[in-house]
Structures are given as structure tokens and as C-alpha cells.
Amino acid sequence: MAQLRQDYEKFVERQTEIIVVGPENAQAFAAYWQKHNLPFIGVPDPTSRVLKLYGQEVNLFKLGRMPAQVIVDRAGIARYVHYGHSMSDIPPNSELLEILDTLNQDA
């Protein structure tokens, strides 16, 4: 999430809303958001309802949910999906911003 915060303004310039979904309950999520002063939306998903909708992997040997990044366009269609194989398997912001630029040109 620190990576997303670093380039948050670049996402905003592309009219992109960042939404982070995590396994914690609402109280834990709110506390984390306040402690780290995150500028984007956080959605608690303690029952894994969203996880199941997007097919996010859970690997108990690797500390739970594997990272997943999904870019959903304005029509609600997932245009990009990256399922990480470890907690460090996250695409760089530059890759996500490039995809957003392409989607915005096509729109």
C-alpha cells in the first residue's frame, strides 16, 4: 500500500480511484488507515466475499491472501488482473499507470 500512496496523485490525475480490500474487520481496517494516513479507500473483507468474487488466492503457508491487483473500467469490466505468487509479487506503479493511460486513450 505504501507503493500506491507514493504515486497516489498520478492515479488521481488519471481519474482512477484506488480501493484496497483486505481480510481485516472494519475496526482493524479503520485503525490501520488512520495510523498510516492512507489517502485511498479501504474496504474490510473479513468473510472473503470480495476475494471469492475476484478469485484471489489464499495460501496459508505464505501468510494468507496473495496480492492481487485488478483494474476495473468505468463500465465495471475488469481490464487487467494480476495475481501475485508471493507477498512481494506486485506490479510496479509504472506498469499500472501505463495500463491506465492505454485504457483512457481507448475510452
| Sequence ranges of the domains in the chain | 2-106
pLDDT score for 85? 81
Please check whether the domain covering 2-106 is classified as CATH 3.40.30.10: yes
Q: What is the pTM of this model?
A: 0.82
pLDDT score for 88? 82
- Beta-carbon contacts of residue 57 (< 8 Å; ≥ 6 apart): 65, 66, 68, 83
Residue 55: other Cβ atoms inside 10 A: 10
Residue stretches of the chain with pLDDT short of 50 = none
Q: Identify how many contiguous H helices and E strands the chain contains and give both numbers.
A: 5, 6
d(CA 46, CA 52): 12
pLDDT in tens, 52-69: 887 776 655 555 677 889
